[in-house]
Amino acid sequence: MRKSLFAMAFTILLLMTMRVWAHHSFASEYDEHKRVSVSGTVREFKWTNPHAWLYVDRKNENGKVTRWSFEMGSPIGLLARCWTKKDLKVGDQVTVEGYGAKDGSNVADATYIAQPDGRKQFGGFQETPGAPPKLCNK
């Protein structure tokens, strides 16, 4: 009986540890000293777990399109900051601020997103530096 209880406790502890390892931290992916600001057109907004993703196409002065991917908070975290999955639509013009990827790719952790209606909302995840409290008074 004691052996099976120990084995069960060990298995639970192992599974919990694996879950923590599977979920990356801000510091492992993004550079706190590499700020980015991208203005462009929403290509896609994925309201998915464990994090939502915003894809933005930015055109330069020559018309060349650069695609950016912004990792956002979890849907639950975004709801707590007054977001809904209908806030951003394909074709919307937005400006997204965030922290760039350490690998230099066009990927960033979103911080603030200026939306077409003039709202500027925090869209990052809990570990994002400067994250405001989760308050939604709707």
Domains of the chain: 26-122 (2.40.50.140)
Note the pTM of the prediction, 2 decimals.
0.79
Calpha distance 51→76 (Å, rounded): 9
Question: Nearest to residue 119, comparing CAs of 80, 75, 82?
Answer: 82
Look at residue 17 in the predicted model and tell me its pLDDT: 40
Window from 12-16, 43-47, 52-56, 103-107 with minimum mean pLDDT: 12-16
